Chain A
């Protein structure tokens, strides 16, 4: 019985760990998608500048307050502009960005198709 209690105790401790772990994972995921504005070329996650340290803290606080990932992105892009996100949101300013690869793909496909038809002939 004692042994069982012991195992249950250990199990509970590990499950707490998982909850905390999830939170940190989310925080890391978000900060990896944020551009450090004063040390460009680095994400907030990678940087140790004053700005990035504070921003990590803000993200952590927002997660604790129950903000979702999208809400945090929205909050920060309202303060710092879309540029802070490495993965820009889909809106009328970024249509070109998002559709360009698709257009190039279709264009390439059309060229290949035309060549194939020519060969068949």
Chain B
């Protein structure tokens, strides 16, 4: 009798373990932080072309939508999403701000000359510390901002579906 109970519990335990691990197989191993930063971080940064220092307060202060896009010339997915950004920049309701992440100035300039410039302002993040203020951990990463609040965050490159989503927001 006792043996049977032990056997029964053992089988249940094994099934339990199997189910847990089996479910674990389909989990994505890419961690996306579940953060609650709602307001934009405060930072100062140098601009790309004019080389003047700007405070974040002076950038996102108009009553319109902003898209902060973290990019670099060495980042291949950034190259793919660039045409989508150019497409978005044609809309007057949204302003796209670039944050050039750990990049070489000449390479970044070549990238912009080659593919076009969707950004109204490009900020420079030479050592990656400003991206961390935003809670970013890889590039490309895009933040949709309205009234000094982050309303949506896109980790990884944008695609047509996400661009449609953004267009829906700014309607």
Chain A residues close to B by CB (< 8 Å): 37-38, 40, 50-51, 53-55, 57-58, 61, 78-81, 83-84
Chain B residues close to A by CB (< 8 Å): 29, 31, 33-37, 102, 127-129, 131-135, 137-138
Residue from the list B127, B135, B138 in contact with A79, Cβ < 8 A: B135
Interface of B is mostly: loop
Contact of B128 with A37 in the complex, beta carbons under 8 Å:
no
Interface of A is mostly: helix
Contact of A83 with B33 in the complex, beta carbons under 8 Å:
yes
Within the complex, the shortest CB–CB distance from B131 to chain A, in Å, comes to 7
**What residues of B have a CB within 8 angstroms of the CB of A79 in the complex?**
33, 35, 37, 132-135
A sample of 27 inter-chain contacts (CB < 8 A) reads: A37-B33, A37-B137, A40-B29, A40-B31, A50-B102, A50-B128, A51-B128, A51-B137, A54-B102, A54-B127, A54-B128, A54-B129, A54-B131, A57-B127, A57-B128, A57-B129, A58-B129, A61-B129, A78-B36, A78-B37, A79-B33, A79-B35, A79-B37, A79-B133, A81-B34, A81-B35, A83-B33
In the complex, the 5 A-B pairs of residues with the closest C-beta atoms, listed nearest first: A54-B128, A79-B135, A81-B33, A80-B33, A37-B137
**What residues of B have a CB within 8 angstroms of the CB of A54 in the complex?**
102, 127-129, 131-132
